[in-house]
Amino acid sequence: MTRKPISLGTTQEPVREDRRSQPLARPFLFVVLHCDQPAFGGARYCLSEIDVVDIGRGPERVASRVCEGGVRRLDLRLPDVAISKAQARLVRTGDGWVFEDAGSRNGSFVNDKRVRKITLEDGDFIELGNVILRYRAGLQSSPVSAADLDLQSPETGGLSTLVPPLADELDTLTRIARAPIPVLLLGESGTGKEVLAGGVHALSGRTGPLVAVNCGALTASLLESQLFGHVKGAFTGAIRDEPGYVRRANGGTLFLDEVGDLPMPAQAALLRVLEESEVVPVGGTSPLKVDLRVVAATHKPLDKMAIRGEFRVDLMARLSGHRHMLTPLRDRIEDMGILVRELLRRSKVPGAPELGFTVEAGKLLVQQRWPLNIRELSQTLGVAAALADGPYLESAHLESARLESAHPLERSHETVAPPEPDEERDTAPDELRGRIIALLEKHRGNVSGVARDMGKSRVQIHRWIQRFSISVDAYRA
């Protein structure tokens, strides 16, 4: 994994913080997308220790921090001929930030409007030449995820992000991946569960293969045979021994995708395999030992299914060694640059990796709600690449892929996702607030523990905490 270092020009000794320190809300500036050169990926810069940000053209994207006359500056250079050497600056004013154009040749735009000077609000998009940036007023971040990060080099495994709260969650998952602990991946469809499962397997150090099973596609009549294998002659058509998915994953990782679709009989049989670490193939008489690590994934509410008797409680407990909630794309628009680069690189459309975007097309990408998440983005880019007849994808190509703009690129507090629907729809606000407080008391103010118990992301828990004006510090030991 290659990360471009950030040069630090401060004369003060850096303050060393424990990575386990409680997250704080910090302001950030993100480079979201180089429209004409998406291969540059994206970057984040924490503004909590900065007074002024100067932005201008340079031969490569690089940021340096300096302290001059007591003023802490971040100098950001962007490789774009449409950007002036002195393009713009951000100036701290109290707890907020003001954006100023520095008399640039082509002008600066905030939320699609040309501006000279404007007070920034959370979620504002800044357009400089062919580069789209985003200001976030206060994202929860640990000392590790608050560090400047430039992802110019492609990374693999689904464990890359610029978004600090998500980075902290992925950091936890990275450490869990190295231990023999089952992992349950939760979240909306299309958020990249299989890619993340591959990342967990790659980090596990297990020498066996990653075997993926789509539980919803298993044939009812042959389900146990498909999972556990069979011996020759076990039934009509069994012309040879077959190991089945479980034994194929021996020494490696078994990925149970859409495990919520697994029929009850198969749940009982799978539970026995996980408890005994052995499997009896259909038609066989002796159990065979297996050594595997299980990663399961679903978009269904397993907790509620278990209450309704639709999913075995004991199997859910066995699968839930560590729960990780995947973040929907609408909550990680700051990652658009690194996601687009990777999706174009993987595209089977000839020439797709070399394509860029017009600025209008780039703005169209970042303003979408993306209800089907990364899967929808991937399909959209594939169709647009097939339609392109030049070096740039245009907004017309994206619109032909049936994109629907959720909001114009105006200043809006709807740029982040609304609360996750299940809890809001099924629970009264007072009841939800009470549940959150009870769990904060149980976990002594540990938001990650609350998120695990509720099956939600930490981002969502922090959103509810802010909405209900709950002081987390009051519950911390």
| Token pair listed for 56 | 């201008």
Q: Which amino acid is at 95?
A: D
Q: Judge contact between 35 and 359, C-beta under 8 A.
A: yes
CA distance 405 to 244: 45
Q: Cβ contacts of residue 101 below 8 Å, gap of 6+? A: 87, 88, 107, 108, 115, 116, 117
CA distance 407 to 2: 35
Q: Which residues pair with residue 29 across a beta bridge?
A: 45, 135
| b (16+ CB within 10 A) / e for 441-473 | eebebbbeebbbbbbbbbbbbbbbbeeeeeebe
| Token pair listed for 90 | 């951000």
Give pTM, 2 decimals: 0.78
Q: Identify which of 18, 63, 58 has the alpha carbon closest to the alpha carbon of residue 43.
A: 63
The beta-strand segments (E) located in 58-130 are 62-68, 71-78, 88-93, 96-101, 108-110, 113-115, 117-119, 125-128
Q: Cβ contacts of residue 308 below 8 Å, gap of 6+? A: none
Report the C-alpha dihedral over residues 291, 452, 167, 9, rounded to 10 degrees: -120
Q: Judge contact between 221 and 271, C-beta under 8 A.
A: no
Q: Judge contact between 169 and 452, C-beta under 8 A.
A: no
Q: Identify which of 419, 415, 342, 413 has the alpha carbon closest to the alpha carbon of residue 374.
A: 342
| Token pair listed for 454 | 């509720």
Q: Identify which of 239, 27, 30 has the alpha carbon closest to the alpha carbon of residue 125.
A: 30
- On the CB side of 463, CA atoms within 13 Å amount to 15
Q: Which amino acid is at 58?
A: G
| Token pair listed for 344 | 């174009």
| Token pair listed for 448 | 């990650």
Q: Please list the pLDDT of the chain residue by residue as tens digits (477 residues).
A: 444 444 433 334 444 445 446 678 999 999 999 999 999 999 999 999 999 999 999 999 999 999 999 999 999 999 999 999 999 999 999 889 999 999 999 999 999 999 999 999 999 999 999 999 999 999 999 999 999 999 987 765 678 899 999 999 999 999 999 999 999 999 999 999 999 999 999 999 999 999 999 988 877 667 788 888 877 766 776 677 788 899 899 999 999 999 999 988 888 888 988 999 998 888 777 888 999 999 999 999 999 999 999 999 999 999 999 999 999 999 999 999 999 999 999 999 999 999 999 999 999 999 988 999 999 999 999 999 999 989 999 998 988 775 544 443 333 333 334 444 445 545 567 788 888 888 888 888 887 778 878 878 776 787 788 777 787 777 775
pLDDT tens track for 265-299: 888 888 988 999 998 888 777 888 999 999 999 99
Q: Which residues pair with residue 31 across a beta bridge?
A: 43, 133
Q: Which amino acid is at 162?
A: L
The beta-strand segments (E) located in 391-467 are 392-393
CA distance 135 to 74: 14
CA distance 210 to 215: 15
